[in-house]
Chains A and B, each alone.
Chain A
């Protein structure tokens, strides 16, 4: 069984630029999560999808971050414009059902200069 796929693995951008991350969850997993992990901290949930609907986006900075999961499968997370404090690893995870064991992708390491 293939795991959670994410791309790109690394991205370096200047502040005020835009960036997008892609995630393909494990086949059949209905729930998809985007986390932000700053160095030395635990992951922080940004947004949770159940199929193609948003369950929780209370910690998503909506003035600059957006995410979609149009067909209930893969998802994209966008930052526009990026700030220095957005430098972090962006992790995508999926679970078969809401509240189930979460499986993580390798993450995208974003550096904003």
Chain B
């Protein structure tokens, strides 16, 4: 079967750094995407890793290790507006996205 595992909830303090992990087991793999979804909103694309290593986009970075079937999203200088759910999603051999259940990020002042 295909599965993605990520923590259901993470709590952090405003201004801090938080890491959201994702491990996956899929029948095919082209890359790992991360999406952000605010309550009542649509998922919005954050990043995509096809190769091993770290990709940085402003305050957000994403890492991939294909040999470990593992990736993470790193959020720095947390702001209250970063409170949302974060989803990892694998692009499988059919170019379709297989989604994790999401991690709810709670930020405290």
Contacts and interface: CB of A to CB of B under 8 A. Distances in A.
A45 B96 contact: yes
Interface stretch (A35-43, A62-70, A78-86): A35-43
Interface residues of B, number: 19
Interface in B61-109: 87, 89, 91, 94-97, 99-102
A98 B43 CA distance: 18
Interface of A: 4, 40-45, 48, 56, 91, 98-99, 101-107
B42 A42 contact: no
Contacts of A91: 42-43
Contacts, number: 40
Contact of B101 (A4, A42, A45, A101): A42
B87 A105 contact: no
Contacts of A43: 43, 87, 97, 99
A104 B96 contact: no
